[in-house]
Amino acid sequence: MERNHTTRRAFIRRSAAGAAGVALSACATRRGYGDRPNIVLIFADDLGYADLSCFGCDDYLTPHLDALAGQGVKFTDFYVAAPVCTPSRYALLTGKQPFRSNGLTTALMPSDTNGLDPAETTIAEVLQASGYRTACIGKWHLGQLDPDYHPFNHGFDRFYGFQGGLVDYYRHAYATEPDWWQDGDRLTEEGYVTDLLTGAACRFIQSSGDEPFFLFLSYSAPHYARDPEGKIILQGREADAGAFPGITDPKRREYAAMVKALDEGVGQVQQTLIDCGLAENTLVLFISDNGPELEWGGTCHPLRGAKRFLYEGGILAGADRDGRDRGSTLFHSRSLPFLLRPGRNRLRGITPRWREHRSDSPRGSGA
């Protein structure tokens, strides 16, 4: 009898797609979501696999993210589609491999003229067309020089945050170039970036009323910043300067302070959902875009590699999902849009507008 040979890449791709259909859409039935649950997708930036205490971090605690994992599902084998920011975000929002992106296979720099093609269909566009309020709050990094690349042209009603790849946490600039926006206008305000993004997210939730919403909360933490001379710096909140006396490495200590602000932000978002009576009908997911910068405080022990590498340290990003069921499963960021596919979803009234692309070509990023 002829044997059916399946490559590792093909197996990961197909099983990941199926896992999304089971792990995400089935939760709508088990947890008792309505037909049109709210969706809060929280994206961390350069957070290492072992940088949460629920994933093995032992030099600081992340109680709010630990609670999210303890109350729901912790995905221990969650692969993102690329080990750097831009292609990982492209795959997350479109459900397509980065090599299909017309050039978004590496992290965009401020001078780059390309971006997310307006012809692409994002998960935000599908939800927006189905009556969801949509907001992108935080880091975009999918094109900034041409307005066609901005969030408004990709399914988001509201945008608050920065368009580039990083930002100073107090000056709100990339080196010397200001990059802070409210919808389509430049904004000048004071505050620590992580706290400002959390506040904007909570206000968006509070203003939702009876309309379903999709919130893409794309934190910059714990990605480094650059000072006016372009030098790389880590920036925790000034109030947290003495919060980790047991950490002797100054970079790790500053990194821990940045993760502390991130963790507290997630806790505030969760509490806002509870206070607004929306928690029982809201799906919350927390994901990192890729692995950490090991030389700037992050860790992914015991995995090999880190950001920029296709070893697991660069693309195995632990993920949490709220819910009452517990367990772990194989999951992949490209699979999120499968929530909306006919025959697999529990989100009624939503009409998918893309067709599935499959390829076993070696060009695919695979796992």
Could you tell me the two tokens for 293?
């910068």
Q: What is the pLDDT of residue 27?
A: 38
Q: What is the pTM of this model?
A: 0.83
CB distance 198 to 270 below 8 Å:
no
Q: Where are the domains of the chain?
A: 8-340
Determine contact, residues 205/269, Cβ cutoff 8 Å: yes
- Binning the chain into helix, strand and coil, the percentages to the nearest 5 are 35, 15, 50
pLDDT at residue 305, rounded to an integer: 77
In the numeric block, which tokens belong to residue 87?
A: 């292609």
What's residue 312's pLDDT? 79
d(CA 86, CA 106): 6
Contact 272, 206 (CB under 8 A): yes
Average pLDDT of adjacent 10-residue blocks, the chain of 367 residues: 42 34 32 75 93 93 93 84 91 89 88 92 94 97 92 96 97 95 94 98 95 97 96 96 94 97 97 95 92 89 80 74 44 46 50 46 31
* CATH superfamily of this structure's domain 8-340: Alkaline Phosphatase, subunit A (3.40.720.10)
Using CA atoms, how far apart are residues 170 and 253, in angstroms rounded to an integer?
18
Measured CA to CA in angstroms, residue 285 lies from 25, 44, 235, 311, 336 at distances of: 13, 11, 25, 24, 10
Catalytically annotated residues: 85, 141
Measured CA to CA, the distance from residue 316 to residue 248 in angstroms comes to 27
Calpha distance 166→141 (Å, rounded): 8
Cβ(335)–Cβ(19) below 8 Å: yes
Determine how β-strand 77-79 pairs with β-strand 133-139: unpaired
